[in-house]
Amino acid sequence: MSPEEVTELMHRFNAAFIRHEPAALVELVAEDCVIENTQPAPNGSRHVGRDACLAVWQGLAGNSATQFQPEEVFVAGDRAILRWRYVWGGGESDFVRGVNLMRARGGKIVEAMGYVKGA
């Protein structure tokens, strides 16, 4: 994939969360996708396969009580870094900032490793 194609894929991925459209993720995730999630500490949970990855991401994207706010997308080859902010309330500390390290192949996401800022 070209960097432009990876950038477009990541923007479509982010848009599914911004718009709370979990169905939009279906066409973006590869059959052999692997997620290393941010929780539980210290290593996060590992999800292998399209269905497992979709379950995680669609659950987040479908939660209209939260807001996903992309901050930056940086692409190098088939890899991308997504900086984001995830908000779950109206309080000053009701959010977390983090990054996803992503990899794409054939127009789909094949790997995502999530990390958050913590104490």
Q: How many domains does the chain have?
A: 1
State the CB neighbour count (10 A cutoff) for residue 16: 22
Instruction: Tell me the C-alpha to C-alpha distance, in Å, between residue 2 and each of 15, 102, 111.
Output: 20, 14, 17
- pLDDT tens per residue, range 45-91: 999 999 999 999 999 999 999 999 999 999 999 999 999 999 999 99
Q: What is the CATH number of the domain that holds 92?
A: 3.10.450.50
Instruction: State how far the Cα of 2 lies from the Cα of 76, in Å rounded to an integer.
Output: 9
Tally: H helices and E strands in the chain: 2, 6
The pLDDT of 26-42, averaged and rounded, is 94
| pLDDT confidence of residue 9 | 98
Give the predicted TM-score (pTM) of the model.
0.93
By residue range, what is the domain housing residue 56?
Answer: 3-116
